[in-house]
Amino acid sequence: ESVERLKILLLIATLALMVLWLMGMAVILLEQHYQFQANSVRNKKVLSVIFIGLQVVHDARIRLSKADIESAWKQLLELQKDHE
């Protein structure tokens, strides 16, 4: 029983991370992620995609459309192709 519960908790955590990644990538593709940086570096990645996604969840100013999430999903599929 505890093994099954752990499997379910891991599935929930994985889905939550995927949602955060998609939201973070959508904001990066829209180039709205710089507002979450404390410094002005813009020529390299400073924050992780998941961290940016977490910031988006807490920031009511950012609105993502279905198309934004679909673009992030396409980016994920491209990354997957690169690692096959």
pLDDT digits (tens, 9 = 90+) for 26-84: 999 999 998 888 877 777 778 999 999 999 999 999 999 999 999 999 999 999 988 88
CB atoms within 10 A of CB 42: 9
Whether 26 maps to a domain, the answer reads yes
Decide if 2 is inside a domain: no
In this structure, is residue 45 part of a structural domain? yes
- Interior angle at CA 59, CA 55 and CA 62, nearest 5: 105
The share of the chain scoring above pLDDT 70, in percent, equals 100
Q: What's the structural domain count of the chain? A: 1
Instruction: Give the number of C-alpha atoms closer than 13 A to the C-alpha of residue 10, restricted to the C-beta side.
Output: 6
Give domain status of residue 50, yes or no: yes
> Which tens digit of pLDDT belongs to each residue from 59-68?
999 999 999 9
